[in-house]
Structure 1
Amino acid sequence: MLTTLAIQNYRSLRDLVLPLSRLTVIVGANGTGKSSLYRALRLLADAGRNGAVAALAGEGGLPSTLWAGPESIGRAVREGRAPVRGVARKEPVGLRLGYSGDDFGYALDFGLPVPENTAFNLDPEYKRESVWHGPVLRSSALLADRSGSRVRIRDESGGWTDSGRSIALTDSMVSEFADPRRCPELLLVRERLRAWRFYDQFRTDAGSPARQSRIGTRTWALDHDGSDLAAALRTIQESAADVVLATAIDDAFPGSRVEVAATDGRFDLRFHQHGLLRPLSAAELSDGTLRYLLWAAALLSPRPPELLVLNEPETSLHPDLLPALAALITAAAKKTQVLVVSHSQLLVRFLEDASVLELEKDFGQTVVAGQGRLDRPAWHWPKR
């Protein structure tokens, strides 16, 4: 389980260190940085697939994503005796992301490239990457360390050996160097990052992929766009979780049930609703009903990931459906670690045993409400 998430200089997240529990809920007013935190976590996961640089480009490049305020805010500014103004930098420009758990930790440091004669001078570079054992980075706990294009790994004697190869400055060491014999921990970190699962506001309009009939295969994890909803529900029904799914449907829509008809490999969703003479197809379902079925398929996956991240799952759901949704989330948290970003205080009240972190703004930067310096989890960034 992840115990700490750290983000530095990503949009309004100038210096954020969050404690994570089995079920963590992130709340806050509009503009406090909830969406930025969600995107930062996705960016961290992209490193496992060597897609972080492309993801940053999709956000406008590294300069567009960096913290736009001053490096530090002095006492005079906080007391209103001086305006906010830029000061001489003491630290190099960098976007840093990392996490740690009881077993391993990982951190990366993106920076601007040294200008050269190329059209790609805005491509961010990995200035530093580190994988360590335990919840806090220490030099003695380092297992793999990357500075520039070279990677060094801890050998069996406890000393350091060079990996014997260089990697491009725009490539991640966890995606490009993961030798199961020389550094199995690096391979484990990569596979964990790749296994994180994200769901963000499913489409429920008339053209939604979830409303279409299609050929289905056994589906252990719902796709991010919900296109394999029928197959995912049928997989749940055939994997000894049919009673759990039936209960989740009845909790939300009393007297209703879901049927998945398979004809020549083509899967069709049929929703039997109390009081109707015929079942409704996916194309006929209301947006709220379809969205709830999508969340049920995502949260009841027979193969849950190590980390499941949900972004505003309450969107377009009637308040009457939130207790049933909360029950699904709570049940999922018993099998996997869950992080929920939510606007709904009502949903939060229904979530049992959740650790709630409220974000707020302080001179433009995102902070955790009530978190002092001594309340933050211990965290150290690898130095360049």
Structure 2
Amino acid sequence: MIKKPLFPYNPKYPSVADLKRRAKWRIPKFAFDYLQGGCNEELNLERNESDFDNIYLKPHYLKTGGEIDMSVELFGRTYSAPFGISPIGLQGLMWPNAPEILAKAAAKHDIPYTLSTVSTSSIERIAEVSDGKAWFQLYHPTEDRLRDDILNRLKSVSCPVLVVLIDVPSFGLRYREIKSGLSMPPKMNIENIFQAMICPEWGIKTLQHGIPSFATLKPYMEKGLDLSQLGQFMNKTFTGKVNMEKVKAIRDLWPGPLVLKGVASEEDMEGAISLGVDGVIISNHGGRQIDAGESSLISLIKLANNPKYTGKVKIMMDGGIRSGVDLGRAHAVGSEFNFMGRPFMYGVGALGDEGADHTINMFKAQLYQVMQQLTLEKVSDFPTRLIR
């Protein structure tokens, strides 16, 4: 009798690489380039993934193993696995209705989904489809009025966690986007239209769900903005650094857990702790902002293992994780929770409505197997298997 898989997923696509290959020919090139690209020569994008290859874990085969528990407690909630779905802008451009697909699946599987300010579904809609479980990532507006209104909307839907993005003082130079016309304002040139025509399912679903827009920001836009005016609105509304004063103001206004995303240095870590935030996400924005920086993993190793920060704030990471093995490696060097963006977009791009469930179960199955192989019962035990 064949045993039913604990975490069932489509065996034709057992890895992120398989999902990426299939997604590549189902998503128009201009949208896929936006998803997979980094800034400048994309060196830091590559380091985000390749630096994981230098982390080694040791098994303990003669140890008696008990039942494996992958759950993790975070900000008063217990999640079924130690990973969540990262915020990504323009998700509905890469695959129609992607935010809702991912938010629904995350809620069903008890992992966090994080909605970006510049994604293509609204705060209210994602709260509805996720049963109020979705987190929110704030691009800090230039006007306090707009900031306060967004925070009030989040409070009204009982958003459980607010994530403030700090690593976009300017928009990275992403050559793929510049060439394709997906800078702000976006341009649908003849080449991009042709690319969309040869991806019929993407086109049909786009017609079904409508042309993607910045749904959360619609109440603040004048009706009938053309693309040029939209670009001016975005530049006017979100250009500017996030500093200590701005985070302090949000800390005073926000009653729930507050997380800073984009922390990559001791200076910013110390600032975050002094402001009383509840968690940080070590991240380099997926290699999309600064090509000369460290990978997220290297920054994590330095910060998570500094005794000055132990126990003072939840330390999480985002960037470069492509397998359950990588999840184990991240925990082994100090991460308490992890986020992934591109792998989940590859999943929905490859498999549509089934892609979110598939990708979540795929990562769970991979992590479970690693824990079996190392004879671990809890995610928090990974550091004991690190080969230093």
Same fold by TM-score greater than 0.5: no
Task: Specify which structure has the bigger relative contact order, considering alpha-carbon pairs within 8 angstroms and separated by 6 or more residues.
Answer: 2
Larger Rg: 1
Which has more strand, going by share of residues?
1
